[in-house]
Amino acid sequence: MAIRFVTGNDGKVREARDYLEGIESVEQLAYDYTEVQSDSLAEIATRGAREAFEHLGSDEPVLVDDAGLFVDALGGFPGPYSSYVEDTVGVERLWRLAADEENRRAQFRTVLAYADESGTETFEGSVAGTLVAPRGEGGFGYDPIFEYNGQTMAEMSTEEKNAISHRGRALAAFAEWYAGRDD
């Protein structure tokens, strides 16, 4: 049975497909679930997955991904508000905010929530890196300003990004659980 990935973000779908290829197919559903205002990505993802599962019906499980960029020098901003900040402030201006700081460390975090009739499972992944002036054409979102091991995530192929990224790590935990579940 295909995994129903509820997201409007094509980049997330590309990465999930690349990672889960050979395990399960991934179908993108564009249902716009409520993203609650919370400091916790897990809470946002869990509540979104429950709402999407109940709304979409048909007893098929859904997968939701809530992600955020946490900048050390900015007290973890934009964190759970990363999507809003990308749309309002923009990636380039967020970089300029961080460029004035001595400490340019940041983390990317993702929580995947998988909801079915028996409940919701969550899988987390994070990666630590350094913010840099934008480089690279690949990826999406903040990838051009997030450097890991000398490369920005926008300079990596999908496979290279998945091997080190927050989402790749969350997908690894999900894939292990998914393969071992009995249904």
Ligand X SMILES: O=c1[nH]c(=O)c2ncn([C@@H]3O[C@H](COP(=O)(O)OP(=O)(O)OP(=O)(O)O)[C@@H](O)[C@H]3O)c2[nH]1
Q: Which of 7, 46, 120, 126 binds ligand X (CB under 6 A)?
A: 7
Are 114 and 65 within 8 A, CB to CB? no
38 binds ligand X (CB under 6 A): no
167 binds ligand X (CB under 6 A): yes
In angstroms, give the least distance from the CB of 79 to Mg ion. Answer: 13
Are 21 and 45 within 8 A, CB to CB? no
129 binds ligand X (CB under 6 A): no
4 alpha carbon, distance to own chain's centre: 16
Residue 103 annotated in ligand binding: no
In angstroms, give the least distance from the CB of 84 to ligand X. Answer: 8
Write the CA distances from 24 to 28, 58, 120, 130, 146, integer angstroms: 13, 19, 19, 33, 29
Q: Going by DSSP bridges, is the β-strand pair 26-29/62-71 parallel, antiparallel, or unpaired?
A: unpaired
What gap in Å lies between CA 128 and CA 148, rounded to an integer? 7
Q: Which is nearer to ligand X, 8 or 159 (CB)?
A: 8
What gap in Å lies between CA 26 and CA 1, rounded to an integer? 9
Element spanning 12, H or E: helix 10-20
CA-closest candidate to residue 97, choices 133, 141, 147: 133
Residue 107 interacts with, from ligand X, Mg ion, none (CB under 5-8 Å by kind): none
86 binds ligand X (CB under 6 A): yes
Residue 75 annotated in ligand binding: no
Q: Which of residues 141-160 bind ligand X (CB under 6 A)?
A: 141-143, 146, 153
28 binds ligand X (CB under 6 A): no
Q: Which is nearer to ligand X, 106 or 181 (CB)?
A: 106
Applying CB under 6 A, which residues contact ligand X? 7-9, 12, 35, 65-68, 82-83, 86, 108, 139-143, 146, 153, 165, 167
Annotated binding site for substrate: 7-12, 67, 140-143, 161, 166-167
Applying CB under 5 A, which residues contact Mg ion? 83
